[in-house]
Amino acid sequence: MPECKLVETKWLSYAPNKAYRKGLAQYLSTVRQYDVRLWLADYRLAKVVRMVDQEWTAREWLPQFLTFSADIKRMARVQAEDVFSQMSSDSMKRKLDIGGLPFEFSEFRFYDDARSWLLSVDSSDSA
């Protein structure tokens, strides 16, 4: 199997403003520094993202991320288990216009399903 160039991120709980933004800054650093093709974002343990941070993400962070994410082919997101976190996530997706991303994006309830979907990408696309 060729190298898949997969990055996995995992939120472990609620992230206050500074921790949340620091985490997203690390996302930017990762896509700048490495040849990322596949991204698995595990939000099972994540909690609500405050509205001010959602707005900051859409307004300031996303344009930067898109600048550096040209090589990403697919991103899978494992949904939060907490219902309030799911509602926060739905709000965030509306702000970020997920349908306009330049790569395939899909959400999953289960981690294994998300990982399988990512790794099923045609090897010629991920090389």
pLDDT digits (tens, 9 = 90+) for 91-125: 877 777 777 788 999 999 999 999 999 999 764 45
Residue 20: predicted pLDDT: 92
What stretch of H or E contains 40? Answer: strand 38-42
What's the pTM?
Answer: 0.81
Which segments within 11-97 are labelled E, that is strand? Answer: 38-42, 74-78
Question: Which of 25-29, 73-77, 82-86, 94-98 has the least mean pLDDT?
Answer: 94-98
Tokens of 75: 């991103």
Residue 100: predicted pLDDT: 76
Residue 122: predicted pLDDT: 61
Which is nearest to 77 in space by CA: 61, 98, 94, 52?
Answer: 98
- pLDDT tens digit string along 4-45? 799 998 988 888 889 999 999 998 999 889 989 999 999 998
Tokens of 86: 């799911």
Residue 75: predicted pLDDT: 92
Tokens of 107: 């959400």
> 50 or 113: which carries more pLDDT confidence?
113
Residue 121: predicted pLDDT: 74
Is residue 119 within 8 A of residue 38, CB to CB? The reply is: yes
